[in-house]
Amino acid sequence: MQVLVLGALEVVIGDRPLELGAQRQQIILGTLALEANRVIRVTRLMEALYGDDLPSTSRVQVQICISALRRRFTENGYPDAIGTRSQGYSLHLPSGGLDLHQFEDALTQARQLREFRRLDESVTQYRTALGLWRGPALDGLESRVVRQAADRLGERRLAVTEECVELELRLGRHRELIDELIALVDEHPLRGRLREHLMLALYRSGRQAEALETYRSARRLFIEELGLEPSEELRRLEHAVLTDDPQLALPEQASAPLRAAPTVSAPVATTSRESVEQPASEPSAPSVPPPYGAPAVGKVSPISGVPAAGPAVSGVPVSGVPSAGPGVSPVPCLLPTDIGDFTGRSQQIEAIRMQFEVATDNSSRFAVPVVVMVGKPGIGKTTLAVHAAHRLAERYPDGQLFADLHGRRPEQIGPMRVLERFLRALGVPGTQMPELLEERAELYRALLADRRMLVVLDNVGGESQVRPIIPGTSQSAVLITSRGRLGGLPSALHVHVDLFSAEQSVELLSRIAGTERVQSELDSTAELAELCGHLPLALRIAGARLAARPHWSVDHLVDRLANEARRLDELKHSGMGIRASISLTYDHLDDAARRLFRLLTVVDFPHISGWVAAALLDIDVDDAQDLLDDLADAQLVEVSGTGRGVNAQYRLHDLIRVFARERLFAEEVAEERAEALRRVLGALLFLGEEAHRGVYGGDYLRLRSDASLHELPARHVRQLVDPPIPWFERERLTLVAAVRQAARAGLVTHCWSLALIAVTLFESRIYLSDWRETHQIALEAAQQAGDGRGHAVMLYSLGALQIREQRYADALQVLQAAGEKFDRSQDEQGVALVNRYVGMVNRLTGRYAEAVENYSRALVSFRKMGDLVAVAFVLHSLAHIKLEQGDLNAARELLPEALDCARRAGSRRVEAQVLHRLGDTQLRANELKAAIDVFEQALSIVRELGDSVGQAFALHGLGTAQLRAGAFAASGEALREALELACGAGERLMEAQVSMVLGELAMAEGDPPRAVLYLHRSLGLFRAISTPQLEARLLGLLSDAYAAKDQLDKVAVGVS
């Protein structure tokens, strides 16, 4: 059985076609065939049938189609052709059972034969591959999913056709190709490379006028359709045709110029190591003509802009390897032209210079200096490499070699071809070119052994591509560009090429579009640079578009780029394009990495961690981490932050994110996108709950929800959230972004659940604006969705926020509203938690009787529910009231149980709070040594937890006890740190209390004026937050301070 997709869908059994039935069945079969022998999810098949508008019966319709296809296969002897898996279906085909696979096999053979210069056989295989096509892939199937896949195959067919035509032009078959190329250009009029091939074929056939008309018609079309001039390659080719550039002729007809060394003869190595002069000989013609645009020694092609290869000149024979013959020793310069508007990169150039300089100046160094420049697509690695090579050329007087290895493209160039090109440039005739890779590498190293040459290898895909091209001695140097690190190259210096700064971006735009124009619209230019993501390729394209359109303002281009959906369409000009640049890397990834790359844009998080990737793909965290590292190696994501291991964080550049989002909507169905988001939000909530347990020792003080969780393995949870507060800190922006996105996606329960769990962080680190923003979003989402519980929970938590902000009247009003909602829904836990906070408001405002009543009601409920932390908290608060009322014994009776509950629960934070209250009790009983010891225990715990507010409280208690004990210096140190922490956290009540004790310390040290300053500061704060009891005490201290100051002033007057 054979399935044919390279044309209209057919299934052939023996010599007869199989009747495939209705269009829907053919769409399902075509979708399965494109991914033969792999499982296709049911959701993908549903979308293939119906697009995004899925009817409720879509899954059933897929099953009906599968059943009908199975019947047809079974009737014809293939009952197992379609297999069933848990996630979907697969089409089982043997080797050679799919014409697409045959096409790929033939293409692989063609490229291998081309690599080994068996060009006639290679063309035969190319034509075999292309001959399998009967028309557009899956022609006639009306399905968006199928058509997108078919269009990609059609693009591939066209690219392979271009490869084949290029090879046939090298073989001199220009006349035979003209009719085919004319038809291809008519079918694909905007395909610049096809027009280049047609122009060259016409020119070589003596039809120069028609070649020029081909260019003129292309230019008219490009301007009318795209508003763009033809590519630089087409313009150069037109110039070459106009001027009869000999470079266009076949090698038998052309003689390329050569830059040679000053000498006319070369020393020949002998076994006695004596130099003997040999006469120069004529170069041998290459055995196979090079392709159009291939390099010629010492000359830059006016067509392609890359160095052109011409007839070889004999070089230096080496014992044990094929001789290049006697003659002139060539000094090849294959570097592309440097650009005049090169901008920035001084640090990278200096790093390259120093690496090469150390090797040159250090006679004891034998390793070849290698620099690998690494960076994301479009970052300007090639531009930097070429510029640096030109600047360093004088250090390498024996020549500079350059090759583009097309590392991420299907037509990747291997070391065999690069070495042949370099050896020809070094004078090795084609007749003496070694056939084996090892022999070519040996000859290459021998020829470079005593020379100082710079080798530039651009767009390297991996170490194996370049290892044979590294010279053998340290006189030469190698400069490499790659999108990923090449860790397998020993001693290589990796230089990271990063985005431009805002200033460098504006400078580059000025150089391309014009300084006066940019200066007149500086704000718009800065915004343009931002929209380009400070990516040099994007900036260069934007600048070129402005330069080509003097009637455009910068602001006009900013408006066009502001639409994210069109941004990549706008960033395209004259053969340069961001989408094409990123696509080279994307297409090179395996399926799993490509899918993760797409799904990363499901979430609007500022950074991505391994657990996020694992939830997106529903796979293990370790596997997801490996895929993220693959994307980082490919420079599609970059590491951000300081996390390591499972806590490492990654992010996408803005333009790369736009590309990934395009691929997401093109290749992932809406149901899969929504499910991936749900899994990530569930995983974030799961980790947040685990971190909350780490802080409080369990599910204490937490209102639960029925939001779905996505659980992660225990070993990863421990690594992520232990300790919990640092994890919360790392993921703070993620939590805020997740609340926003959950609200937009209508996942209301996830929205308010995430907002609530984040309070564990917001409260301890005083992120009050985040607390307010997330809760307002979640409150509105709950109201709009009619989620009464979510509404009540957010009101309750907002009340807690208003207490923290010392807005006690507002807090009381919001808490009462929340309490009424909890009471109506008979939510005992919610009512108890509200009572706890209402009791806190009453305590802080001096209404102790009401506070005791609130706390007592809450305590009964908490004991009943077994919430140890809540019990500890309420007992601690009741003890606080007793202390304020002067009843030390009652406070002492309450605190031991509170401390026991906190410790049994494992809640270190609440334990520290109870210890603080115990220290306060001992301080009031004048048990100073015991108080200092307890405050130090509390301080140790909150420092360990990283709780800055807790540290302020503990230091306040410690400083007060030390003051009472007469340890003034230690007291001042503790109190000043407490004041700094309280101010930094916006804790105005604590700031006021610490200032009051600092006033007392100043009085004890005999400095009434300083005491007055501190006490006045404290008074202003007490009055602002309405704390009458504390204010009354302070006024007594302030009166004493003024009296002491007046006495001091009188003494001072008397002395004077």
In a domain, 54, yes or no: no
* Other CB atoms within 10 Å distance of the CB of residue 361: 8
Higher pLDDT: 982 or 764? It is 982
* Arithmetic mean of pLDDT over the chain: 84
pLDDT band at 362 (very low <50, low <70, confident <90, very high): low
pLDDT above 50: residue 587: yes
Mark whether 410 and 517 lie in a shared domain: no
Residues in the chain: 1056
Residue 4 pairs in a beta bridge with: 10
Mark whether 483 and 544 lie in a shared domain: no
Alpha helices, H only, 499-535: 502-513, 515-520, 522-531
Give the residue from 1054, 1015, 1008 showing the smallest Cα distance to 1033. 1015
Give the pair of three-digit tokens for residue 56. 């409720």
DSSP letter (8 states) at residue 337? P
In a domain, 708, yes or no: no
What does the pLDDT average to over 110-122? Answer: 86
Say which amino acid occupies 1055. V
In a domain, 236, yes or no: no
Tell me the helix, strand and coil percentages in the chain, rounded to 5.
65, 5, 30
Most confident of the following: 299-303, 694-698, 856-860? 856-860
pLDDT band at 260 (very low <50, low <70, confident <90, very high): very low
Mark whether 479 and 564 lie in a shared domain: no
Q: CATH code at 473?
A: 3.40.50.300
What does the pLDDT average to over 765-787? Answer: 94
What does the pLDDT average to over 104-128? Answer: 88
* Nearest-angstrom CA–CA distance, 208 and 199: 8
Res 267: pLDDT? 33
What does the pLDDT average to over 597-626? Answer: 93
* Nearest-angstrom CA–CA distance, 29 and 21: 11
Mark whether 346 and 460 lie in a shared domain: yes
pLDDT above 80: residue 792: yes
Higher pLDDT: 753 or 94? It is 753
- What is the separation of C-alpha 505 from the centre of its chain, rounded to a whole number of angstroms? 21
DSSP letter (8 states) at residue 260? B
Give the residue from 633, 656, 597, 625 showing the smallest Cα distance to 372. 633
pLDDT above 80: residue 544: yes
pLDDT band at 251 (very low <50, low <70, confident <90, very high): low
Res 1051: pLDDT? 54
pLDDT above 60: residue 502: yes
- The string of pLDDT tens digits covering residues 154-203 is 988 999 999 999 999 988 899 999 999 999 998 888 888 899 999 999 99
Mark whether 450 and 549 lie in a shared domain: no
What does the pLDDT average to over 370-383? Answer: 88
Res 302: pLDDT? 30
Of 466, 496, 526, the position where a domain reaches its end is: 496
In a domain, 635, yes or no: no
Res 310: pLDDT? 35
Residue 12 pairs in a beta bridge with: 2, 17
Mark whether 535 and 432 lie in a shared domain: no
pLDDT band at 641 (very low <50, low <70, confident <90, very high): low
Mark whether 440 and 561 lie in a shared domain: no
- What is the separation of C-alpha 766 from the centre of its chain, rounded to a whole number of angstroms? 30
**Cβ contacts of 813 within 8 Å, gap of 6 or more:** none
Higher pLDDT: 979 or 14? It is 979
Of 327-331, 694-698, 711-715, the least confident: 327-331
Res 944: pLDDT? 85
pLDDT band at 929 (very low <50, low <70, confident <90, very high): very high
What does the pLDDT average to over 1004-1018? Answer: 89
pLDDT above 90: residue 852: yes
Res 134: pLDDT? 93
Cα distances (angstroms) measured from residue 573 to each of 239, 337, 530: 20, 20, 19
Give the residue from 1036, 702, 1029 showing the smallest Cα distance to 851. 1029
Mark whether 427 and 470 lie in a shared domain: yes
Q: What is the DSSP string of 897-948?
A: HHHHHHHHHT-HHHHHHHHHHHHHHHHHTT-HHHHHHHHHHHHHHHHHHT-H
Mark whether 354 and 452 lie in a shared domain: yes
Res 535: pLDDT? 87
Of 448, 478, 496, the position where a domain reaches its end is: 496
Give me the half-sphere count of Cα atoms (radius 13 Å) on the Cβ side of residue 455.
32
In a domain, 379, yes or no: yes
Mark whether 492 and 508 lie in a shared domain: no
Peptide bond into 723 cis (omega under 30): yes
What does the pLDDT average to over 114-119? Answer: 82
> In percent, how much of the chain has pLDDT > 70?
90
Mark whether 349 and 471 lie in a shared domain: yes
What does the pLDDT average to over 925-935? Answer: 95
Higher pLDDT: 239 or 680? It is 680
In a domain, 397, yes or no: yes
Give the residue from 485, 455, 462 showing the smallest Cα distance to 375. 485
- The string of pLDDT tens digits covering residues 23-41 is 999 999 999 999 888 888 8
Q: What is the pTM of this model?
A: 0.60
Give the residue from 861, 873, 795, 869 showing the smallest Cα distance to 828. 861
User: What stretch of H or E contains 739?
Assistant: helix 732-744
Instruction: Please name the residue that has the structure tokens 């979510």.
Output: 790
Give the pair of three-digit tokens for residue 741. 């996105």
Domain range for 380: 290-311+332-496
Of 85-89, 222-226, 271-275, the least confident: 271-275
In a domain, 252, yes or no: no
* Nearest-angstrom CA–CA distance, 788 and 447: 82
End-to-end CA distance of the chain: give it in Å, rounded. Answer: 117
- What is the separation of C-alpha 841 from the centre of its chain, rounded to a whole number of angstroms? 46
- The string of pLDDT tens digits covering residues 648-659 is 889 888 888 889
pLDDT band at 86 (very low <50, low <70, confident <90, very high): low
What does the pLDDT average to over 589-594? Answer: 87
Contact 688, 735 (CB under 8 A): yes
In a domain, 569, yes or no: yes
pLDDT band at 253 (very low <50, low <70, confident <90, very high): very low
Instruction: Please name the residue that has the structure tokens 């509170």.
Output: 898
- The string of pLDDT tens digits covering residues 939-950 is 999 888 778 889
Res 289: pLDDT? 35
Of 474, 496, 518, the position where a domain reaches its end is: 496
* Nearest-angstrom CA–CA distance, 135 and 928: 93
Q: For 968-997, what is the HEC assignment?
A: HHHHHHHHHHHHHHHHHHCCHHHHHHHHHH
Alpha helices, H only, 227-287: 232-242
Say which amino acid occupies 197. H
Mark whether 464 and 342 lie in a shared domain: yes
Which conformational region is residue 270 in: left (phi greater than 0), alpha (psi within -120 to 50 degrees), or beta? Answer: beta
Query: For the chain, what is the domain count?
Result: 2
Say which amino acid occupies 727. W
Say which amino acid occupies 317. P
Q: What angle do CA 1003, 1007, 1010 make, to 5 degrees?
A: 95
Res 752: pLDDT? 98
**Cβ contacts of 858 within 8 Å, gap of 6 or more:** 832, 833, 835, 836, 839, 870, 874
